[in-house]
Amino acid sequence: MFKKNIFSPLLLKFIVMNATAIQIGDSILISPDLTGKPNWTEGVVIEVEKNTFNGIVIAAETKDRNVFFGQKDLFKTSNNKELCLH
């Protein structure tokens, strides 16, 4: 009674990644754990890397030209939704 999935797991992963992937130039919020500031800091994505050991690593630059980088869980989109980069 179950319908067979017409998409392969690899194709589904590709569709999900491209639908939710963050790109260079996107506005994001950087965690206070990373910046050392009391609040989330606005920034712009300057690099997204798939690191073999750490997973997805994002580098972002703030308005005062400081650059912060870390794992995806240290960033949120500007509309306060957590990033989904599966």
Residue 21 lies in a domain: yes
Q: What is the CATH number of the domain that holds 53?
A: 2.30.30.60
Q: Are 24 and 43 in contact (CB under 8 A)?
A: no
Residue 68 lies in a domain: yes
| Predicted pLDDT of residue 78 | 73
Strand order in the sheet with 27-30: 67-71, 55-61, 41-51, 27-30, 75-77
Q: Residue 10, Cβ neighbours under 10 Å: how many? A: 8
Q: Which residue has the higher pLDDT, 1 or 49?
A: 49
| Predicted pLDDT of residue 19 | 42
Residue 83 lies in a domain: no
What is the span of the domain harbouring residue 29? 9-77
Encoded tokens for 6: 């017409």
Residue 46 lies in a domain: yes
Q: What is the pLDDT of residues 16-69, one digit of tens each?
A: 444 447 889 999 999 999 999 999 999 999 999 988 898 899 999 999 999 999
Question: C-alpha distances in angstroms, 80 versus 31, 32, 33, 55?
Answer: 11, 14, 16, 22
What is the total count of domains within the chain? 1
